[in-house]
Amino acid sequence: MVRVLKERRTGNEKAFTMPNECPVCNETVIRPPGEAIRRCVNINCPAQIKGRIEHFASKRAMDIDGLGEKLVEQMVDRGVINDVSDLYYLKKETISCLERMADKSAQNIIDAINTSKRRSLSRFIYALGIRNVGEHISGLISERFADLNGLMSATEEELINIPEVGPEVSSSIVTFFNDSKGYGFIKDSETSESIFVHVNNITEEIKENNVVSFEVEMGQKGPSAIQVKVVR
Beta-bridge partners for 222: 219
Closer residue to Zn ion, CB minimum distance, 55 or 144: 55
- Report the nearest approach of Zn ion to the CB of residue 5 (Å): 31
| 38 binding Zn ion? (CB under 5 A) | no
Four-residue CA torsion sign, 71, 55, 145, 230: negative
| 51 binding Zn ion? (CB under 5 A) | no
| 45 binding Zn ion? (CB under 5 A) | yes
From the list 34-42, 59-67, 141-149, 168-176, the region that binds Zn ion by CB under 5 A is 34-42
> Binding Zn ion by CB under 5 A: which of 22, 67, 106, 197?
22
Q: Quick check: 90 and 113 in contact, CB under 8 A? A: yes
Apex CA 101: angle with CA 77 and CA 75, to 5°? 15
From the list 6-14, 19-27, 56-64, 193-201, the region that binds Zn ion by CB under 5 A is 19-27
d(CA 109, CA 107): 5
Alpha helices in 78-166 (DSSP H): 92-96, 103-115, 121-127, 135-144, 148-152, 156-160
Q: Residue 207 half-sphere exposure, CB side, CA atoms within 13 Å?
A: 5
List, as own/partner pairs, every contact residues 5-8 make where C-beta atoms lie below 8 angstroms and the sequence separation is at least 24, other chains included: none
Q: Quick check: 48 and 54 in contact, CB under 8 A? A: no
| 53 binding Zn ion? (CB under 5 A) | no
Q: Show contacts with Zn ion in window 124-153 (CB under 5 A).
A: none
> Binding Zn ion by CB under 5 A: which of 2, 10, 32, 40?
40
From the list 6-14, 44-52, 135-143, 171-179, the region that binds Zn ion by CB under 5 A is 44-52
Closer residue to Zn ion, CB minimum distance, 47 or 146: 47
- Report the nearest approach of Zn ion to the CB of residue 25 (Å): 3
Where on the chain is the footprint of Zn ion (CB under 5 A)? 22, 24-25, 40, 42, 45
